Chains A and B, each alone.
Chain A
Amino acid sequence: DAGVTQSPTHLIKTRGQHVTLRCSPISGHKSVSWYQQVLGQGPQFIFQYYEKEERGRGNFPDRFSARQFPNYSSELNVNALLLGDSALYLCASSWTLGQPQHFGDGTRLSIL
């Protein structure tokens, strides 16, 4: 069975640009969460969506937004990119609330 899939795997952008990252959860999973992992640190929670509704938001600026589609896939959008946004962006899915989260391999975003 396919795990959590994320695209693209790598992305290079310049400051001020906008980026969209995509995530397909494990089949049957309805909850999707997004995390940011800076090099050498643990993942930091950004958003969580369940049944297309935002259920949690971490301490990130309004430049970060996300949504979940009827097929439970999700997009993370980041506007006005800053150098500090360079990180590995991870998507995790679980079949419902309160269940273990399984991560994809992430999108490596580099800001020049």
Chain B
Amino acid sequence: QQQVKQSPQSLIVQKGGISIINCAYENTAFDYFPWYQQFPGKGPALLIAIRPDVSEKKEGRFTISFNKSAKQFSLHIMDSQPGDSATYFCAARAGGSEKLVFGKGTKLTVNP
């Protein structure tokens, strides 16, 4: 049972373009939604996170958009750079639990 569905599986973007990764969830008990960035041979690094009381959160070039009624959230990377090439994971956590439920990941390639 996959509780967090992530798409696309892979994404190729030109330098300077916008990268968009989408996630959908089923469990309405989820109340914390982080995004992680993972480079080969490294562990996931926390990028940005949002709680459902806001619809958007921006940190630098990274923005999370959140649609509570649709149970969907997305990551937008503005002005994508070759250094952004990595695998991105969305995740969700229910209140009172420390268990993060991850999507299957999106491999982003930014061409120079």
> Which chain B residue has the least Cβ–Cβ distance from A106?
B43
Neighbour of B98 across the interface among A43, A48, A103, CB < 8 A = A48
Contacts of A86 in B (CB 8 A): none
Contacts A56-B98, A105-B42 known; list 13 others, CB within 8 Å.
A31-B98, A33-B98, A41-B105, A42-B6, A42-B89, A42-B91, A45-B99, A48-B98, A48-B99, A56-B97, A100-B34, A100-B49, A103-B46
Q: B interface, how many residues as a size bin?
A: 20 to 34
**Residue in contact with B100 in the complex, picked from A31, A43, A97, A105, CB distance below 8 Å:** A43
Interface residue A58 (Cβ < 8 Å from any Cβ of B): yes
When A and B form their complex, which 6 residue pairs have the shortest distance between CB atoms, in order from nearest? A42-B102, A103-B43, A48-B98, A105-B43, A45-B99, A103-B44
What's the count of A-B pairs with C-beta under 8 Å?
59
Q: CA–CA, A56 to B45, complex, Å?
A: 22
**Cβ distance A96 to chain B, nearest Cβ, rounded Å:** 10
Jot down 16 A-B pairs with beta carbons below 8 A, ordered by A. A4-B43, A31-B98, A33-B99, A41-B105, A42-B104, A43-B100, A45-B99, A45-B100, A45-B101, A56-B97, A92-B100, A98-B32, A98-B98, A100-B34, A100-B46, A101-B46
Which residues of chain B from 17 to 36 have a CB within 8 Å of any chain A CB?
Answer: 32, 34, 36
B98 touches A42 (CB 8 A): no
Contacting pair B99 A103 (CB below 8 A): no
CA gap between A4 and B101 in the complex, in Å: 20
A55 at the interface (CB under 8 A from B): yes
A102 interface contact, C-beta 8 A:
yes
A42 contacts B99, C-beta separation under 8 Å: no
Residues of B within 8 Å of A35, CB to CB, are 100
Minimum CB distance partner of A97 in chain B: B98
Chain B residues within 8 Å of A43, by CB: 44, 89, 100, 102
Give chain A nearest CB distance to B94 CB in angstroms: 11
Q: Distance in Å from the Cβ of A1 to the closest Cβ of chain B?
A: 15
Task: Give chain A nearest CB distance to B49 CB in angstroms.
Answer: 6
Question: In the bound complex, what is the Cα–Cα distance between A58 and B95 (angstroms)?
Answer: 16
Residues of chain B in range 69-112 having any CB-CB distance to chain A below 8 Å: 89, 91, 97-105
